Structure 1
């Protein structure tokens, strides 16, 4: 503590609260893997996969103080470019994490939940997708890193456009 000229303690500048995040639990909420290629009994077929990945996020406050649940949703669809875009496999995965978060201002909590928390969960999602595709009879699919900041910005822009379209007067 510093002192003023008269010997009194000088007020200390307010420090920003320390952000603390702890992963309390993580788990598969829902998962589905469908090997369409095996179901159709195709053998020795020429395969040239085209893989599309969709990512969506959800977060909600839990009843316990400072606890939040964040859900990452991945839809992976593989088609065969060599055979009329026939489906090879379809994987859907909802992976959730329960987080204890403190020190984040209220106005920053939404982006924190939808950017930082999914970053913590992603390596586990990548591993699950890799294992499931390999165990399903395909080469392991190693997902590219997801830019959760860009995903968050895209969602904000989409919502702004949606609100703008709803607010626009309808021509007669």
Structure 2
């Protein structure tokens, strides 16, 4: 039996009015929207001795599908170059459909550009690692990214410029 103050007791005695008015957000689905893998100098690139330099670029986009669903797009571009040339290029567009309801605009913006990318990143990271491995190289394990920290930095920079973030822009 549930004791006083127990979660089950609290659920049974909640003072809710039955209305769907609590803020809620969550991932509905995720998918690879676009993936490009290039190995332009194979098979010569497999003989190169020098360690390639990596250029990793990220971009986050949000597109409203309807009032409650937003597509969050995490774009990752990786280029591995050495003095001998380009070893490989990988471009990934990894997306998630995010449902959000009863949330303030600031919360929607923060979830779209900080929390949703944090949730999607480990899956995108695996796709990149597999793509690099399938191109014939050692799998590339991207370092974790502090999306919340980056979001707060950009928000602070925009506030110092005198503008607030517009919904739909990071």
TM-score, length-scaled by structure 2: 0.73
Structure 2 equivalent of residue 128 of structure 1: 127
Q: Which residue is 2:57 aligned to?
A: 54
Equivalent of 2:37, from 33, 36, 42? 33
Number of paired residues? 144
Q: How many Å separate the matches in 2 of 1:143 and 1:122?
A: 10
Partner of 1:140: 139
* 5+ residue gaps, structure 1: 1-11, 165-172
Counterpart Cα distance in 2 of 1:158 and 1:55: 18
Gaps of 5+ in 2: 1-14, 16-20, 164-170
Matches of 1:125 and 1:38, distance apart in 2: 25
Contact 2:71 2:95 in 1 (8 A): yes
Distance change in 2, residues 1:43/1:90 (3 Å): closer
Give the corresponding residue for 1:108: 107
Change (3 A) 1:79 1:163: farther
Pair 1:35–1:158, CA change in 2 (3 A) = farther
User: Which structure would you say has the larger Rg?
Assistant: 1
Superposed CA RMSD: 2.4
Distance change >3 Å, CA 118–CA 32, structure 1 → 2: same
Q: For each residue in 1:64-114, what CA deviation from the matched residue of structure 2 results, as whole angstroms up to 9, or x when unmatched? A: x3111100000111111xx25x21111110011001122432222112210
Q: Return closer, same or farther for 1:105/1:42 CA change in 2, 3 Å cut-off.
A: closer
Taking a change above 3 Å as real, the CA distance of residues 43 and 147 of structure 1, as seen in their structure-2 partners, is closer
